[in-house]
Structure 1
Amino acid sequence: MSDGLNISAPADVLLDVNDLVVHFPAGRRGMFGSPSKVHAVDGVSFRVRRGTTFGIVGESGSGKSTTAQAVMRLIPMTSGQIVFGGENIADFRGEKLRLARSKFQIVFQDPFSALDPRRRAGDLIREPLDLLGIGSPREREVRVKQLLEEVGLPPQAADLFPHQFSGGQRQRLCIARAMAPEPDLIVCDEAVSALDVAIQAQILNLLKKLQRERGLTYIFISHDLGVIQHFCDEIAVMYLGRIVEQAPAQVFFSAPLHPYSWSLISAAAPPGPLRDRLKKDYLVKGDPPSPVDPPPGCRFVQRCPFVVARCRDELPILNIQADEHFVACHRTGEIAPPDFASL
């Protein structure tokens, strides 16, 4: 089922994801039962404008990273469209997909495991250029030095191995490698969550600087609302494989509409009496249900304090409530939202 954002894309849209579905087999229910599926991503649609940062937030298991990896064509998708620069890259295979990868790159969560410990930093940064056949050998060497400078590392860093760098420096290497083929889109999949807070700020500032200078477009995956609020222009909230709310960042943090969003913001509120009250009234408890063959109805129904009968029987779709503000909830407008504007 689509999240309802499939309309003609404006010219400033770089990425248009329409009804993306990623299911994984989960065995059979008993010896003679029918096959089960993990509904990792279940009908997700969104658009990313050129030169902006699109944030995806949610708990572990919500489908954030699976969505990112499917968009990058790193895992197989069950169905849907991924229109990048006007072409449906979901249909790309073989050499066509390999060549297209120069335009979209990814930075992973753990910079150490993302870097081959047996190779020098310069070789790692040059690898995308070698694989894609970009430039002459001399031009590639010059490009590596330029990239090291852009991410704040000295030229001699090219001769060092990953273990000789700090965590923040290793992530700078990963960013340099992602930028090597001059992509239009970079996906940051929890790219700062493994770093100390001070180093997080440095990497975020670096990403912003590169975006201003190069017109980069980002998809930023995180479970940290504080980072999302600081870094993103638009935010989508995922829960159990579906987007439940999507809005510009300022609108989302001042006037969220979905009960799950209320819970996330309440948990991230600054310490004090207001946070205590918000957590008491809106913070949901327990873990999300299993994504294996979810029942009909709202995915949030087992944890939502505002459930009515319709919520158990009918899956809400993502509908527009105001300019660029979408929410998937049957009770939008019936329940008074909390006052987050004062946070």
Structure 2
Amino acid sequence: MNDVLLDVTNLTVRFPAGRAGPFGPRRHVHAVDGVSFQVRRASTFGIVGQSGSGKSTVALALMRLVGISGGDVTLDGMPLSALRGDALRRARRDFQMVFQDPYASLDPRRRAGALIREPLDLLEIGSPAEREAEVLRLLSQVGLPAEAGRLFPHQFSGGQRQRLCIARALASRPRLVVCDEPVSALDVAVQAQILNLMRRLQRQLGLTYVFISHDLAVVQHLCDEVAVMYLGQVVEQAPTHRLFAAPRHPYTWSLIAAAASHGAAGQAMRRRHLTPGEPPSPIDPPPGCRFSVQCPHVTARCRTEAPHLRPAAEGHLAACHRMEELGVPDFGLAEVA
């Protein structure tokens, strides 16, 4: 059996942004621009980056909730990016999503049991009696009592609502679960509970996760491999332990420095590696390296020639012209808060 479950090749998503003036050319937001990665079965692949980097758009594109402008998405040999109509609807039982906000992603007018059962009804999975039994099993699986099925979403805490969202995502027994910032709206103590639940479910069910987050501590705890995105492109990708032990792209250094624990060491790290300013517009990205506008190590070549992902070590890719010259920063195994 092929070890790769999800194969993403040159994924591109662009949104129309109007004209530059009444007679100007049509413009587009380059939300995702040529992203490629593979996700192994029963593993967790993390995607990190600041707001506007395109990571959530990647999640929506994988779920076919936004249009794909180019590239291919393949799930265990099934061409997701090419499916339409009934074929796409039937395929949805194999890939589901947990959204960021458990308050907004549940219909407040429906009881919890009906919300969990909805995917089973829409995908016509099992008989009515089997669906009812499955709802009870799913509630137990995510740590909620059977009585919870009779309650409305407003009667649950934030962590309990996210457990409901996870149960609903698992109802069709998918092979891939895309998680878009699933714990960012929760308290820290509740975050730990949900992350532990996700890891337990992964072990029990053999789930594969694509985990979108801006929280490096969460990613470091949960993910097996991480891709770092900046302005619609992947600038670094590596196994999690290697990414935090030996990051090779200046943007990754900045992300780790921004998340460093407080104290003298963290302050020194931020002074050395935290880059000031804002990213350029995704409507008109700069030529060459897109990080060149903020990078303190920029050269003339960086401003004119776009770097490509290339090996920094085994299984470790980075897109930086000066990767060998700059080497590895001195913060080693970074401790992120």
Q: TM-score, normalised by structure 1?
A: 0.96
Find out whether 1:226 has 2:217 as its counterpart. Answer: yes
Find the counterpart in structure 1 of residue 109 from structure 2.
Answer: 118
Whether the aligned pair in 1 keeps the contact of 2:177 and 2:209 (CA below 8 Å) is yes
Provide the C-alpha distance between the structure 1 equivalents of 2:330 and 2:37, rounded to a whole number of angstroms: 27
* Aligned mate of 1:235, from 214, 221, 226: 226
1:150 alignment counterpart: 141
Q: CA deviation at 1:16?
A: 0.3
Q: Which residue is 1:72 aligned to?
A: 63
For the pair 1:81 / 2:72, whether they are aligned, the reply is yes
What is the CA-CA distance between 1:340 and the residue it aligns to?
Answer: 2.8
Tell me whether 1:23 sits opposite 2:24 in the alignment: no
Matched with 1:217 is 208
- Tell me how far apart the structure 2 counterparts of residues 127 and 340 of structure 1 sit (CA, whole Å): 48
Read off the aligned partner of 1:173 and give its amino acid letter. L
CA distance in 2, matches of 1:342, 1:187: 28
The answer to whether the 8 Å contact 2:47/2:212 transfers is yes
1:99 to 90, 95, 109: 90
Partner of 1:246: 237
Q: CA separation in 1, counterparts of 2:98 and 2:331?
A: 32
Task: State the distance in 1 between where 2:332 and 2:231 align.
Answer: 27
Instruction: State the 1:228 CA deviation.
Output: 0.4
What residue number does 1:6 align with?
none
Cα distance in structure 1, aligned partners of 2:111 and 2:267? 50
1:253 touches 1:340 (CA, 8 Å); kept in 2? no
Which residue of the partner structure matches residue 203 of structure 1?
194
Query: Is 2:246–2:333's contact at 8 Å kept on the other side of the alignment?
Result: no
Contact 2:244 2:333 in 1 (8 A): no
> Mapping of 1:178-327 within 5 angstroms?
178-327=169-318
Structure 1 regions of 5+ residues with no counterpart?
A: 1-9
Q: State the Cα deviation string for residues 283-330 of structure 1 (Å, max 9, x = none).
A: 011211110021211110110000000100011111122111000111
Higher mean alpha-carbon deviation, 220-229 vs 332-341, is at 332-341
Aligned partner of residue 300 in structure 1, secondary structure: helix
| Alignment partner of 1:11 is 2:23 | no
Q: 5+ residue gaps in structure 2?
A: none
Percent of matched pairs sharing the same residue: 63
Q: CA offset at residue 137 of structure 1?
A: 0.3
1:342 is displaced (CA, Å) by 4.5
The answer to whether the 8 Å contact 1:107/1:175 transfers is yes
Mapped to 1, the partners of 2:146 and 2:327 lie a distance apart of: 57
Matched residue type, 2:35: V
Q: Distance in 2 between matches of 1:337 and 1:291?
A: 29
- Kept in 2: contact 1:22–1:42 (CA 8 A): yes
Kindly provide the amino acid, as one letter, of the partner of residue 267 in structure 2: D
Aligned mate of 2:319, from 305, 310, 328:
328
Q: 2:187 is matched by which residue type in structure 1?
A: D
Q: Is the CA contact (8 Å cut-off) linking 2:95 and 2:176 kept in structure 1?
A: yes
Q: Tell me if the contact between 1:73 and 1:90 (Cα under 8 Å) persists in the aligned partners.
A: yes
Match of 1:57 in 2: 48
What do residues 179-234 of structure 1 show as CA deviations (whole Å, max 9, x unaligned)? 00000000110000000000000000000000000000000000000000001000
In 1, Cα distance between equivalents of 2:127 and 2:42? 29
Give the structure 2 partner of residue 3 of structure 1: none
Runs of 4+ in 1 over 4 A off after TM superposition: none
The SS at the match of 1:82 is: strand
Question: Counterparts of 1:61 and 1:79 in 2: how far apart (Å)?
Answer: 20
Q: Partner letter of residue 146 of structure 2?
A: P
For residues 18 and 286 of structure 2, what CA distance do their matches in structure 1 show?
Answer: 17
1:108 aligns with 2:104: no
CA distance in 1, matches of 2:294, 2:48: 18
CA contact (8 A) 2:119 2:172 kept: yes
Q: Distance in 1 between matches of 2:58 and 2:331?
A: 28
